Chain A
Amino acid sequence: MTATPTLVKLQPKEFASNQEIRWCPGCGDYAILKAVQKALADIGSRRENTVFVSGIGCSSRFPYYMATYGFHTVHGRAPALATGVKLANPELDVWVMTGDGDGLSIGGNHMLHVLRRNVDLQIILFNNEIYGLTKGQYSPTSRAGTKSPTSPNGSIERPLSAATFALGAGGRFVARGIDTQQAQLIDVLKRAHANRGASFVEVFQNCLVFNDGVFNEFTDRAVADERQLHLVHGQPLLFGKDRQKGLRLDPSSIALEVVTLGDAGVTMEDILVHDETNRTLAGMLAALEPPFPVALGVLYAAPVQSYTAALYEQQATGSPDLEALMTQGKTWTV
């Protein structure tokens, strides 16, 4: 690290590169770019110590638009390449920028293993439920019935839940945000950055060309209060316009149910309290589907030692004596 404490904090715009942005006007990616730049400024990040690594796809153009170090790699392999960056220099702050096709289809294996290993980096998965750069084919997160050039009669595949996948892979930090809900997204990004280990953030991102409005059912302002559950550690799982609705555990089915405070004697005592360290609860929240609201914020945060920390703990010091190495064991002199 070359940062010195006397350096002044950079402004968000100082994280922007001089490159002309080539995303479609109105793309949700712009909002994510803005949120990341703001989060880095808030954190006090240094450009020289920050590395953005991406795969292939619309989301993966991200590094070109940052004034930090960046690497636009090959399709699906950003987690592996980013792991190498951290192995070489664990001091660097590494961000993996990926999408639903890049991170969960062609790169699904690497996503699994970077989470399992708990490499200390942030993974921001732009989920727009479609392949954008290749012109609109259905993706592994596309809902069944999605019509696309490769599924003209509707997709017959069942979609993958990114957050459920991350939890299943052993991810120790799993969170969600929405591209246009900046304040909450910036908070989530800062939490992800603070976590030492692999931090997985799914961002619901609107592709206005190939999948416009696919998240409207919970992102529209008109329905947001009813359809979004904002998670806060230690706070009850309440939602709704007047925060009168909540989630209760039905012990008979071991499932969550929506209840309304005051209905049939329901009180705050009945409402589950969010516990970020509870993996079972995180799994339930990640899997919520209508009529349940969509869980947003930090679903799970239970840090354990990162891969890189454990690696460098094992890394022998010893003397790098080449002669001793070459003459170890049996030798003879002529």
Chain B
Amino acid sequence: MREQAVVRFAGDSGDGMQITGARFAMETALAGSDLATFPDFPAEIRAPVGTTFGVSAFQIHFGSVEVATAGDDLDVLVAMNPAALITNIMDLRRSGTLIVDKGAFTERNLTKAGYATNPLEDGSLSDFIVLPLDIGRLTVAAVEGLGLTSKQTARSRNMWALGLVLWLYDRDRKTTTDWIEKKFATDPAIVAANVAVLNAGHAFGETAELPNFLRPVAIGAAPVAPGTYRTISGTEAVAWGLVAGLKAAGIERMVFAGYPITPASPVLHALVGLRAHGVVTFQAEDEIAAICAAIGASFAGSLGVTSSSGPGVALKTEALGLAIATELPLIVIDAQRAGPSTGLPTKTEQSDLFQAVLGRNGDAPMPVLAASTPSDGFEVAMEAVRLATKYMTPVFLLTDGYLINAAEPWLIPDPAGLPTFPVAFRTDPHGFQPFVRDPATLARPWARPGSPGLEHRIGGLERNADTGDISYDPDNHAQMTEARAAKVAGIAADIPEQAVNQGEDRGELAVVGWGSTFGPIHMAVRRARAEGRRVSHIHLRYIAPFPRNLGDLLKRFDNILVPEMNRGQLVTLLRAEYLLPAERFSQVNGKPFKVSTIFGAIMERTSGNGKGGAA
């Protein structure tokens, strides 16, 4: 029995590849397999049909073993047209299965994709098991007599492909047919057609004389802790984590202000659906208005939250300084994408780390947290709420285009077991001064408008360390600058020490990562350790401030390798903070790292004379 597989569906933007992949992922999850998904789509909504830049793809890696990445090489590629083939075939492993809609391999489509000759006929695909099927015609046959227009018929081709791949992995179709029935509830003809097409694809696998080595492969359940699971996307995890954090803080209301931007918009969409949980959403006129509204909401006693991606975060920068200066809670979610400027809106990158940690005028420190997997967004969002409200500070929550769109199974936590960190609003006017700090946290009091006797004025001008009144006094400014820095630095005492995610707490090589590189680093380190290398994986959730033991921990390794989807930002911070010879390992092609890439880097940097051991 195979332990794992990687499948990618690729087609035109309008071919429904994202839906196809998501349905396949759901059937896989319900079968208990571990999984990771990677939706990869163009910035254009409906690029011209048949073009390479209009190709949309959805990759899923699933297994009866632990799955931590969306997979390096494909076992199965479904290509709905020549453009999908030419842009994806390089990732299909030798002897992998290629399912193509040969009906879409017309002269015109081949030319658009840049093929001089038809790859289905010129022998160039001889490394693969090719199933050239006329999916278009088979779909037409499946819906015969159901009264669909030819356009409607063409749009259900993806269900045929889905049916066949579900057969290939011995998966159920029940939740998919349920989903079809619900989605098209108002149009029974469409329901009937889509179900018929799905079943036709499945039946084709059963009955057609496929090459005899193509038989259903059952990939069973992964060994996981007992409990109730669901699939969760990075978007859902962050949104639910914010709501859970709001509840944990005991704050009545969250004001979530955003402005549409790829790939952060899904977060705003998700929060709109959570109004019953105390969420007020506001689609602002621009990024600046969004953060300013969130700051205003925090001033008024709600939890202000805003989200964006790199270019939008750049616009929010001045207001972030205001939140730091006025010491108000605020959460800024940055779904990073490839930059600079507009960059690659739908492609992932980790290149906003400097912007988050350093990108403001003045000495303007604030905590920066990063989610490492889609589901990790839940805990990180809760933690962001805790730090923002306890320390009266804006907090950056870094995620990225990959994490926002990707999904994985998640052990649903028991709400009763979640942490609580109730906020104490200032209500007592006696002795109230808006900037007198709590001696333990150095946080100033949170006094809401509406509270008699606590009327006060705050603003961006430097303020007296006690009264908050405008102060141009040089010593006071020095004192306040130090206080703001000490407050954020002090958070290091209130967060967990940095753990070693895999391996020993000393050795030949530490691979240090943050954010969505978790999966590929985790798997690469596991493989290298299985081959006897003395390598450990250390993954940071807290980037500002760093965990208090991080420097000492890193100094116990001979070498430090920092893979990042940027030109080396964390590595620069680590070198600056700890004067360590950490090595940059950079990839900026808009895609997640492959396990093999990091594995290769580890093997080159380790001697192989370690004792090895179980992965």
Chain A residues close to B by CB (< 8 Å): 1-2, 17, 19, 46-51, 53, 56, 63-64, 66-74, 77, 79-89, 91-92, 109-110, 112-113, 311, 314-320, 322-323, 325-327, 329-334
29 A-B residue pairs with Cβ-Cβ distance under 8 Å, sorted by A, are: A17-B457, A49-B450, A51-B300, A63-B459, A64-B459, A66-B457, A69-B449, A71-B459, A73-B460, A74-B321, A77-B292, A81-B293, A82-B296, A83-B282, A84-B295, A85-B296, A87-B255, A89-B300, A109-B286, A315-B275, A319-B276, A325-B277, A326-B415, A330-B29, A330-B30, A330-B231, A331-B230, A333-B227, A334-B221
| Binary A-proximity of B20-44 (CB < 8 A = 1, otherwise 0) | 0000001001101000000000000
Given contacts A48-B449, A48-B452, contact A334 B296 (CB under 8 A): no
Task: With both chains docked as a complex, state the minimum distance between the C-beta of A168 and any C-beta of chain B, in angstroms.
Answer: 16
Chain B 275-309, CB-CB to A under 8 Å as 1, else 0, gives 11110101011101110111111111110100000
Complex partner residue of B289 from A88, A110, A325, CB under 8 angstroms: A110
Chain B 455-490 against A: per-residue CB contact (8 Å), 1 yes, 0 no?
111111100000001100000000000000000000
Q: How far is the CA of A77 from the CA of B30 in the complex (A)?
A: 49
- Cα A67 to Cα B240 in complex, Å, equals 39
A320 contacts across to B, CB distance below 8 A: 243, 247, 276-278
Closest approach, in angstroms, between the C-beta of A6 and any C-beta of chain B?
13
Q: Is the CB of B469 within 8 A of A19?
A: yes
For the complex of A and B, list the 3 residue pairs with the smallest distance between their C-beta atoms, beginning with the closest.
A84-B296, A72-B459, A318-B276
Do B297 and A85 touch (CB < 8 A)? Answer: yes
Partner of A92 from the list B175, B322, B449 (CB cut-off 8 Å) is: B449
- Near A by CB (< 8 A), chain B positions 353-367 give none
- Considering residues A48, A80, A325, A329, which has the most beta carbons from chain B within 10 angstroms of its beta carbon? A80
Q: How far is the CB of A34 from chain B (nearest CB, A)?
A: 18
Residues of chain A within 8 A of B286, CB atoms compared: 109
Q: CA–CA, A311 to B322, complex, Å?
A: 27
The number of chain B residues touching the other chain, given as a range, is 35 or more
Residue B496 at the A interface, CB < 8 A?
no
Contact of B297 among A63, A88, A317 (CB under 8 A): A88
Task: List which B204-235 residues lie within 8 A (CB) of chain A.
Answer: 221, 224-231
Docked Cα-Cα span, A82 to B449, in Å, equals 12
Bound CA span A333–B240, Å: 20
B453 to chain A, nearest CB (A): 7
A319 to B230 alpha-carbon distance, docked (Å): 21
- Are B294 and A331 in touch, CB under 8 angstroms? no
Q: Are B230 and A69 in contact (CB under 8 A)?
A: no
- A33 to chain B: closest CB distance in Å? 14
Q: When chains A and B are docked, how far (Å) is the Cα of A330 from the Cα of B294?
A: 33
Given A331-B230, A333-B229, A334-B226 in contact, is the A71-B299 Cβ separation under 8 Å? Answer: yes
- Within B399-438, the residues touching A (CB, 8 Å) are 412-413, 415, 418
> How long is the Cα–Cα vector from A80 to B292 in the complex, in angstroms?
6
**Could you say which residues of chain B place their CB within 8 Å of the CB of A73?**
292, 295, 322, 459-460
B248 → chain A closest CB, angstroms? 10
* Apart from A73-B292, A74-B460, A334-B224: 20 A-B pairs, beta carbons within 8 A: A2-B452, A48-B455, A53-B296, A64-B469, A71-B458, A73-B459, A74-B322, A83-B296, A84-B295, A88-B255, A88-B298, A89-B301, A317-B276, A320-B277, A322-B243, A322-B418, A325-B240, A327-B228, A334-B32, A334-B228
B200 within 8 A of A: no
A interface SS class: mixed
Q: Give B539 Cβ to nearest chain A Cβ, in Å.
A: 25
B157 contacts A by Cβ under 8 Å: no
Chain B's closest residue to A52 (CB) is B457
The answer to whether A88 and B455 touch (CB under 8 A), given A80-B288, A322-B243, A331-B228, is no
> What are the residues of chain B within 8 A of A64 when measuring CB–CB?
457, 459, 469-470
B residues contacting A by CB (< 8 A) are 26, 29-30, 32, 175, 221, 224-231, 240, 243-244, 247, 253, 255, 257, 274-278, 280, 282, 284-286, 288-290, 292-302, 304, 318-319, 321-322, 326, 412-413, 415, 418, 448-461, 469-470
CB-based nearest B residue for A328: B230
Q: Report B-chain residues with C-beta under 8 Å of the C-beta of A84.
A: 255, 257, 282, 292-300, 304
CA distance A112 to B289 in the complex (A): 12
Is B221 a contact partner of A2 (Cβ separation < 8 A)?
Answer: no
In the bound complex, CA of A51 to CA of B226 (Å): 52
**Residues B228 and A91 in contact, CB atoms below 8 Å apart:** no
A332 touches B449 (CB 8 A): no
Q: How far is the CB of A189 from chain B (nearest CB, A)?
A: 20
Tell whether, in the assembled complex, residue A69 and residue B455 are in contact, meaning their CB atoms are under 8 Å apart: yes
Q: Which A residues touch B282, using CB under 8 A?
A: 83-84, 87
A204 CA to B576 CA, complexed, in Å: 54
How far does the alpha carbon of A239 sit from the alpha carbon of B228 in the complex, in Å? 78
Contact A322 B296 (CB under 8 A): no
Choose from A51, A112, A322 the contact partner of B277 (Cβ within 8 Å): A322
Instruction: Let me know if B469 and A327 touch, CB within 8 A.
Output: no
Closest residue of chain A to B429 (Cβ to Cβ) is: A48
Q: Nearest CB to that of A317 among chain B residues?
A: B276
> Is B457's CB under 8 angstroms from A110's CB?
no
Contact partner, A316, options B276, B418, B453, B459, Cβ 8 Å = B276
Provide the residues of chain A in CB contact with B298, threshold 8 Å: 84, 88
Cross-chain contact of B285 among A47, A49, A109, A311 (Cβ < 8 A): A109
Question: Could you say which residues of chain A place their CB within 8 Å of the CB of B32?
Answer: 332, 334
**B538–chain A nearest beta-carbon distance, Å:** 29
- Per the bound structure, the CA–CA distance linking A319 and B247 in Å amounts to 13
What CA separation (Å) do A109 and B285 show in the bound complex? 8
Taking a contact as CB atoms closer than 8 A, the residue among A48, A319, A331 that contacts B451 in the complex is A48
Kindly list chain A residues whose C-beta atoms are within 8 Å of the C-beta of B454. Answer: 48
Question: What chain A residues lie within 8 Å of B225 (beta carbons)?
Answer: 334
User: Bound state CA distance, A329 and B253, in angstroms?
Assistant: 25
Measured CA separation A92–B450 after assembly (Å): 7
- A69 B457 Cβ-Cβ under 8 A: yes
Whether B300 pairs with A322 at a CB distance below 8 angstroms is no
Give every chain B residue within 8 A of A69 (Cβ-Cβ): 449, 455-457
Q: Which residues of B contact A82 (CB under 8 A)?
A: 296
B228, B294, B322, B451: the one within 8 Å of A2 (CB)? B451
B294 contact set on A, CB distance < 8 A: 84
Please indicate which of the listed interface residues B289, B456, B460 has the most CB atoms of chain A within 10 Å of its own CB: B289
A17 to B452, CA, bound (A): 15
Which chain A residue lies CB-closest to B418?
Answer: A322
- A331 contacts B412, CB within 8 Å? yes
C-alpha spacing A176/B280, complex, angstroms: 34
A88 & B300 in contact (Cβ 8 Å cutoff): yes
* Complex CA distance for A46 and B278, rounded to whole angstroms: 27
Q: How far is the CB of B352 from chain A (nearest CB, A)?
A: 21
Chain B residues within 8 Å of A80, by CB: 284-285, 288-290, 292-293, 296
A109 to chain B, nearest CB (A): 6
> How distant is the Cα of A73 from the Cα of B244 in the complex, in angstroms?
30
Quick check: B470 and A326 within 8 Å, CB to CB? no
Are A85 and B230 within 8 A (Cβ)? Answer: no
Q: Are A74 and B292 in contact (CB under 8 A)?
A: yes
Question: Which chain B residues border A110 with CB–CB below 8 Å?
Answer: 285, 288-289, 292
For A327, the chain B residues whose CB sits under 8 A away are: 228, 230, 412
User: Which residues of A sit under 8 angstroms from B457, Cβ to Cβ?
Assistant: 17, 63-64, 66, 69-72
What is the CB-to-nearest-CB distance from B605 to chain A, in angstroms, rounded to a whole number? 38
Please report the C-alpha to C-alpha distance between residue A329 and residue B231 in the assembled complex, in whole angstroms.
9
A72 contacts across to B, CB distance below 8 A: 457-461
Residue of A nearest to B276 (CB): A318
Please name all residues of chain B whose beta carbon is closer than 8 Å to the beta carbon of A322 when the two chains form the complex.
240, 243-244, 247, 277, 415, 418
User: Which of B32, B276, B301, B448 has the most C-beta atoms of chain A within 10 angstroms of its own C-beta?
Assistant: B276
Contact B301 A88 (CB under 8 A): yes
B418 cross-chain contacts in A, Cβ below 8 A:
322
Q: Which B residues are in CB contact (< 8 Å) with A326?
A: 230, 240, 412-413, 415
Residues of B within 8 Å of A46, CB to CB, are: 452
Distance between A314 CB and nearest chain B CB, rounded to angstroms: 8
| Complexed CA–CA distance, A5 and B162 (Å) | 67
